Structure 1
């Protein structure tokens, strides 16, 4: 969408446990690589480099500039909700969102209108006892606290509001934007940790280990990207050969480890899915896939925090939602229906009227809303 010219600013709100990209604001280009013909980016974050998506600016055609803002959403009382689940220190940074409803609730008129700009940007939310002390902003509470509440108002809670939200609000004030919600924001599962034993997953991490670039020079990043591409291509070829013939000759520096992994897989099942194994390996870079299966109380806290956060922006032109549960299971399948129901209820409370369009089946779990 950036390459097509539709999106110029992406705001990624991430859950407390997510560490792939640190909180920051960066600008880079997206364009077509004149060597491969593939869409690539000049972003030097390891998240993109490890996926071999980096390309120097001079090799990009039809390049478009994009701003990426990354912010962690941490609900108040989150550390208490974690207790024995995670170290409290893991959630100390980020925007602390006050979700208590009371006298601090106020409204201010939003003078922006949807036709003030043709630009369309994107805001993204992508992963006990606390629930009884928590409740969402709902229409009745809003109406009770404001006689002039309407869809054009911005609901603000002055307490604990991070300055960054105010800056973002001003940035998006005269722009159309899309709100994209992935349900794995509220509860995240690393499906490969569930699918494979610790032994097999550990071997995968060793085989697919990503050696970070020594510095951020174009030369070093390009060298790292080329090396990573070679590493992934060779491993893919090896596992393809094993898929064709269990006893295929293995020509690889890590041959001994691959043989141990192969035998462990065949001991586990008769016909292992080596394409899936390679896909799992490709996620092993300098950070693991996030894995935090939330409690019901934590999900309630996060839904409320998301509502409080997005209430500081005017109404989006479209809301898209991905269940992320059938094909990849990043959102735990046992929780996805409840999370979806709570999220839709939260959006209805916030925007009063929304038209919900379900666009998914066993093959396609995306839900889109307009």
Structure 2
């Protein structure tokens, strides 16, 4: 029999994969079901990758699983384990890693490698070589993914400022260069939000999508990454533009045609797997020896021509580059860059209002998990406290008093004791 919390617990962690232990605890205490849990996931990143070489059986060893997870791959193992069946990824306009709409796929064990794989052919999964045909999967679990864009909503103050500007300029210029009052630019240069009507339509569409999934009595997890409101690509600050461009070239993903058949898709995955394994091996060797002869020998390999220029640039700034981190950076810039959009305070508040409009009609969540993502700079450290405070105020306004657990404070305290 399902149990109920007297107050909705809110678990706040620093790194996003740390929420899994709290989800498992809620399953163990029977507050959320063992199977087919739904999750509303607000984030600038999908977090739907899979630990590439992890044995599928690891999901049934809790401690081993926790040690394998990372910030980008913590959801899909729970899908394969049968716990999560549907994720609604709510993303801001600057995050475009997976195409909008409904995605249905199977998540299971690859019969040939015993790793977790998916049947989705979206670039997000293909570029990490995670696709396999359905007949190659064992113990498959059906999984539905709803990708829903949430646009900032103009406040009354924004509209007043816009109206004042219009009245003071009876003959406005037909084209606005840069950023106009109350208008957010999308990644493609178009308006992310412009008039109130379009933002209301966007919010209504998001609500409609969610209400088609969540029934009044459905237990579900509300998961929020604070980088939903303001987001950085930390690798942009670690590497120069030239270095980043070389990484994009080295790790570039050759998309298959949209109408590609199964054989072509499998060839694409096989080719991509070899490419990523070769790159991992190259940077592992550079950790041992990055002398001139080694670099030149590695650069002779197929697709590695630009390696010499990259290593020269890295070593000009740091005698001992962190090649493991370089490889991790490369993995993020294959078919699209990581999202990077540091929001103004006004835009953060517009997004808060949008989230309020989207969540208000929904049933109360059973469990709320939250990630700060600030120590790794995905959420700008200078904004994280303010964003967190605003989100907590929003949650209490929507759902009443909550039971707050600031897990990240306990973790930082333990780390301080260990280092002293």
TM-score using structure 2 length: 0.67
Quote the offset at 1:15 in angstroms.
0.2
Structure 2 counterpart of 1:347: 395
User: Is residue 105–residue 142 contact of structure 2 (8 Å, CA) maintained in 1?
Assistant: yes
Deviation (angstroms), 1:178:
0.5
Name the counterpart of 1:124. Answer: none
Match of 1:89 among 164, 183, 190: 190
Q: Conserved in 2, the CA contact under 8 Å of 1:82 and 1:88? A: no
Q: Does 1:53 align with 2:130?
A: yes
**Equivalents in 1 of 2:414, 2:381: separation in Å?**
14
Give the distance between the partners of 2:223 and 2:414, measured in 1 at CA: 17
Shift of 1:363: 10
C-alpha contact 1:76 1:96 (8 A) present in aligned 2:
no
**Counterpart in 2 of 1:63?**
140
Deviations 1:102-154 (A, max 9, x none): xxxxxxxxxxxxxxxxxxxxxxxxxxxxxxxxxxxxxxxxxxxxxxxxxxxxx
Aligned match of 1:168 in 201, 210, 215?
210
Q: Give the direction of change, closer, same or farther, for the CA distance of 1:86–1:238 in structure 2 (3 Å limit).
A: closer
**Residue 2 (structure 1) shift:** 1.3
3-state SS of 2:255 partner: coil
The 5 A counterparts of 1:11-22 are 11-22=88-99
Task: Note if contact 2:94-2:186 (Cα within 8 Å) is conserved in structure 1.
Answer: no
State the match for 2:324 in structure 1: 275
Aligned to 1:266: 315
Distance 1:170 1:21, change over 3 A: closer
The residue number in structure 1 matching 2:151 is 74
Distance 1:178 1:90 in 2: 31
CA distance in 2, matches of 1:83, 1:180: 25
Matches of 1:96 and 1:176, distance apart in 2: 31
Counterpart mapping for 1:95-244 below 5 A: 96-98=198-200, 162-163=204-205, 165-173=207-215, 174-214=217-257, 215-244=259-288
Tell me, yes or no, if the aligned pair for 1:75 and 1:96 is still in contact at 8 Å: no
SS in structure 2 of the partner of residue 276 of structure 1: helix
Q: Residues of 1 paired with 2:341 and 2:385: CA distance?
A: 17
- Tell me, in whole angstroms, the C-alpha distance in 2 between the residues paired with 1:8 and 1:71: 17
- Residue of structure 2 aligned with 1:296, choices 345, 348, 353: 345
CA distance in 1: counterparts of 2:307 and 2:285, whole angstroms: 12
Unaligned runs of 5+ in 2: 1-77, 159-179, 416-420
CA distance in 2 between counterparts of 1:259 and 1:9 reads 45
Alpha-carbon distance in structure 2 between the residues aligned to 1:363 and 1:282: 32
In structure 1, the partner of 2:30 is none
Q: 1:325 to 1:363 in 2, by over 3 A?
A: farther
Q: Aligned to 2:220, what secondary structure does the other structure show?
A: strand
Equivalent position SS for 1:44: coil
Is the Cα contact below 8 Å between 1:213 and 1:224 reproduced in 2? yes
Distance of aligned partners of 1:356 and 1:96 in 2 relative to their CA distance in 1, 3 Å threshold: farther
Matched residues, number: 303
Residues 306-328 of structure 1 show CA distances to partners (whole Å, capped at 9, x for unaligned) of: 111011210000011111121x3
8 A contact 1:32–1:40 mirrored in 2: yes
Distance 1:84 1:36 in 2: 44
2:100, 2:149 within 8 Å by CA — same for their partners in 1? yes
Deviations 1:71-100 (A, max 9, x none): 10012349744568966515269x9544xx
State the 1:29 CA deviation: 0.4
Is the CA contact (8 Å cut-off) linking 1:210 and 1:284 kept in structure 2?
no
Q: Distance in 2 between matches of 1:363 and 1:239?
A: 34
Q: Residue 18 of structure 1: CA displacement?
A: 1.2
User: Would the alpha carbon gap of residues 28 and 268 (structure 1) be closer, same or farther in structure 2, given more than 3 Å must change?
Assistant: same
Q: Which consecutive residues of structure 1, in runs of 5 or more, have no partner in the other structure? A: 99-158, 366-370
SS in 2 for 1:225: helix
**Residues 317/220 of structure 1: CA separation in 2 closer, same or farther (3 Å cut):** same
* CA contact 2:93–2:186 (8 Å) conserved in 1: no
Aligned to 1:330: 378
**Pairwise CA distance, 1:359:** 1.5
